[in-house]
Amino acid sequence: MSHIAQIELDDRNLPPPTPEIEQERRVAMFDLMEENSFTLPKRDDRVVPEGPYKVGLSIRDRRLVFDVQTDAGEPAAQFLLSLGPFRQVVKDYFAICKSYFDAVKNLPPAQIETIDMARRGIHDEGARVLEERLEGKAIVDHDTARRLFTLICVLHFGG
């Protein structure tokens, strides 16, 4: 099984994240490195380097850029995804996360759980959009897509 062995976010030109966004980033990166599934599919007659992979994520010219290298640092693939399909789900995700962070400070556990269920639902929707956008470019499992979606949100936050 191929996987991501290293991931880097290019956030050099973005404003500093809030503490909550930074926490989301740390958790997503930790979870991603603990377990993930990432494979480059065969395309035409070209040889596809096997993983593990180093993946760089950035936003350039209003596009999400995946820069994929082999573990040895050789180029393996690069693909650019339009941010358009992500805009609404990222906006919804940030809104529900804000509600969740506010709820944790003030509301009883039952209400926090309700908001958290909604947050997970929107997170799943973001993962589904990512899986669709990666079709033919990379094969990921749902948990990997969820973690990558979180990292896309972190980049989107600054952009």
Q: For residue range 68-112, what is the model confidence (pLDDT) as tens digits?
A: 999 999 999 999 999 999 999 999 998 998 888 888 898 898 889
So where are the chain's domains? 4-156
pLDDT in tens, 39-51: 999 877 778 888 8
What integer pLDDT is reported at residue 147 of this predicted model?
Answer: 94
Determine the Cα–Cα distance for residues 33 and 73; give it in Å rounded to an integer.
18
Q: What is the pLDDT of residue 159?
A: 46
Report which DSSP code applies to 10.
Answer: -
By the 8 A CB rule, do 155 and 58 touch?
yes
pLDDT in tens, 137-150: 999 999 999 999 99
- Residue 60: the pLDDT is 87
- Of 29, 36, 31, nearest to 53 (Cα)? 36
pLDDT at position 158, please?
53
Q: Which residues pair with 4 in a beta bridge?
A: 53
Q: Round the average pLDDT of the chain to a whole number and report it.
A: 89
Q: Which residues of 36-69 are buried (b: 16+ CB within 10 A; e: fewer)?
A: bbbbbeeeeeeeebebebbbebbbeeeebbbbbb
> In which band, very low, low, confident or very high, does the pLDDT at 5 lie, cut at 50, 70 and 90?
very high
Percent of the chain with pLDDT over 90: 58
Residue corresponding to tokens 């290019």:
10
Checking if the pLDDT of 17 tops 80, the result is: no
